[in-house]
Amino acid sequence: RKEVEQDPGPFNVPEGATVAFNCTYSNSASQSFFWYRQDCRKEPKLLMSVYSSGNEDGRFTAQLNRASQYISLLIRDSKLSDSATYLCVAHNNNDMRFGAGTRLTVKP
């Protein structure tokens, strides 16, 4: 079983839609969590860190549920430019584990 599991998708949504991705992690010692965005044939780039209380950055909201060991990302009012693969990451001091990613395509 992978340490970080994500639904691979693809999620195909129309512009303006709200879409949510979930991610589960198996290592209860994980201390910090991130969402990265990766465009086709490019490097991953940090989208946002995930805090225990949940955090919002514009159209993006991240939530962490430590008891259930899952992390979520909500994207509101989807734009064409949001089309990418979203990587979930669980990190402790010595180990950073990436999910395989969820692919999102936003269509006009």
Partner 1 sequence: NAGVTQTPKFQVLKTGQSMTLQCAQDMNHNSMYWYRQDPGMGLRLIYYSASEGTTDKGEVPNGYNVSRLNKREFSLRLESAAPSQTSVYFCASSVTQGSGNEQYFGPGTRLTVT
Interface with partner 1 (CB under 8 A): 2, 4, 8, 31-32, 34, 42-46, 49, 87, 91-101
Asked if 69 and 26 touch (Cβ cutoff 8 Å), the reply is yes
Minimum gap (Å) between residue 7 Cβ and partner 1: 13
Q: In terms of CB distance, is 32 or 72 closer to partner 1?
A: 32
Q: What order do you get walking across the sheet with 19-25 strand by strand?
A: 4-6, 19-25, 70-75, 60-65, 55-57
Report how far apart, in Å, the C-alpha atoms of 9 and of each of 19, 27, 32, 86, 99 are: 12, 23, 24, 10, 13
User: Nearest approach, Cβ of 23 to partner 1 (angstroms)?
Assistant: 11
Of 24 and 78, CB closest to partner 1:
24
Residue 16 CB, nearest approach to partner 1 (Å): 30
Nearer to partner 1 by C-beta: 40 or 108?
A: 40
How many other CB atoms are found less than 10 A from the CB of residue 89?
Answer: 22
CB 12, min distance to partner 1, A: 19
CA atoms of 55 and 12, how far apart (whole Å): 25
Assigned token pair, 6? 């994500």
For partner 1, the closer CB: 19 or 47: 47
